[in-house]
């Protein structure tokens, strides 16, 4: 190697090596990395000739495009949407919705194939018919859970009763991984006049509004479940940035009431400083991302916010800009 390179040339060589080489001088090859929202989908027990759907989200946490192809090849199972070849860019997602429509009684099993780079998802379900005279009544049509932090949990419950004259077949199964049936779940038989208590736990996997359902049995109504999950705290993540950066001679932001649904006084009315769930409608987010929609970048003094901090503001706004 030329020992007469100047400092600038050495810096350039070093930078090129860091970008294009590993420690052994080999080129760095970016790879895709598949992440699935579920490794198995349980459809529970579905009435013959009826239908139930479940979905799986294919995410890509790698640095290159992820290529896949969604297909099923078993009787009773079909892809409702997201089938065939697909490409997921880095940080992107692709949703595949699978339907199960049993044509006869009995258990069924299958696999959702997603391509050679992605693990297959197992599919299970069963077809059944209720006996004449069985009745399925839910104590409530839905359950709503209070705002819960990712990693935390909340519980609620309901009851299933059978005021009919014949045994009622049940199979209590959640349709997504954000809700877990703690008690009263799985297949069972409810005698005439009987009642079954079901306890549901909300265990959000990601921030935002989450809604799915709890299947209860063939011919029974599903129970709608919903909740809001947070992955960012205003007190711990957002306010420290506002008080240490935005408040340095420019603004005084201490509380959510200072910014959430508050009309901007910087000449951008009727736009508000922060509009829950709306990034484009939030002056603050446009400022810190230097979108050009609302004038100059914020903060005007010093370095711009890091990508990590900007992402926290993004998630906080999309999760409802809560005072948490």
Tell me the pLDDT tens digit for each residue of 75-91: 999 999 999 999 999 88
Decide if domain 133-231 falls under CATH 3.30.1360.200: no
Q: How far apart (Å, rounded) are the C-alpha atoms in residues 80 and 98?
A: 5
pLDDT digits (tens, 9 = 90+) for 160-186: 999 999 999 999 999 999 999 999 999
Q: How far is CA 297 from CA 26, 238, 286, 294, 315, in A?
A: 40, 18, 8, 8, 19
**Residue predicted with more confidence, 24 or 86:** 86
Identical fold, 31-129 and 133-231: yes
**Residue predicted with more confidence, 209 or 22:** 209
Q: How far apart (Å, rounded) are the C-alpha atoms in residues 291 and 306?
A: 15
The pTM assigned to this predicted structure is 0.74
Residue 304: Cβ-neighbour burial (10 angstroms; 0-12, 13-18, 19+):
middle
Q: How far apart (Å, rounded) are the C-alpha atoms in residues 131 and 167?
A: 7
What's the pLDDT at 162? 98
| Superfamily name and number for 31-129 | Immunoglobulins (2.60.40.10)
Q: Where are the domains of the chain?
A: 1-30, 31-129, 133-231, 234-318
143 close to 200: Cβ distance less than 8 angstroms: yes
């Amino acid at each position: 190697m030329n020992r007469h390179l100047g400092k600038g040339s050495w810096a350039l060589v070093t930078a090129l090596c860091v970008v294009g080489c590993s420690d052994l001088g080999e080129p760095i090859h970016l790879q895709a990395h598949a992440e699935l929202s579920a490794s198995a989908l349980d459809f529970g027990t579905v009435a013959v000739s009826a239908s139930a759907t479940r979905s799986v989200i294919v995410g890509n946490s790698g640095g290159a495009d992820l290529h896949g192809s969604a297909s099923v090849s078993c009787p009773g199972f079909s892809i409702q949407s997201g089938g065939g070849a697909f490409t997921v860019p880095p940080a992107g997602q692709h949703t595949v919705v699978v339907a199960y429509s049993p044509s006869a009684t009995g258990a069924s099993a299958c696999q959702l194939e997603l391509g050679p780079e992605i693990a297959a998802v197992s599919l299970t379900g069963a077809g059944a018919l209720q006996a004449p005279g069985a009745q399925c009544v839910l104590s409530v049509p839905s359950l709503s859970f209070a705002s819960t932090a990712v990693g935390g949990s909340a519980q609620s419950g309901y009851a299933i009763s059978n005021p009919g004259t014949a045994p009622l077949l049940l199979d209590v199964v959640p349709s997504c991984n954000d809700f877990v049936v703690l008690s009263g779940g799985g297949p069972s038989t409810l005698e005439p006049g009987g009642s079954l208590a079901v306890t549901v736990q909300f265990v959000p996997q990601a921030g935002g509004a989450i809604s799915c359902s709890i299947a209860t049995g063939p011919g029974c109504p599903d129970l709608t479940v919903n909740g809001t999950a947070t992955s960012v705290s205003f007190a711990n993540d957002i306010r420290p940035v506002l008080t240490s950066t935005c408040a340095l001679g420019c603004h005084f932001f201490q509380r959510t009431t200072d910014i959430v649904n508050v009309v901007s006084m910087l000449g951008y009315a009727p736009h508000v400083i922060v509009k829950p769930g709306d990034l484009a409608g939030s002056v603050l987010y446009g400022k810190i991302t230097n979108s050009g929609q609302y004038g100059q970048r914020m903060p005007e003094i010093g370095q711009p916010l890091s990508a990590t901090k900007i992402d926290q503001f993004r998630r906080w706004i999309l999760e409802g800009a809560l005072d948490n």
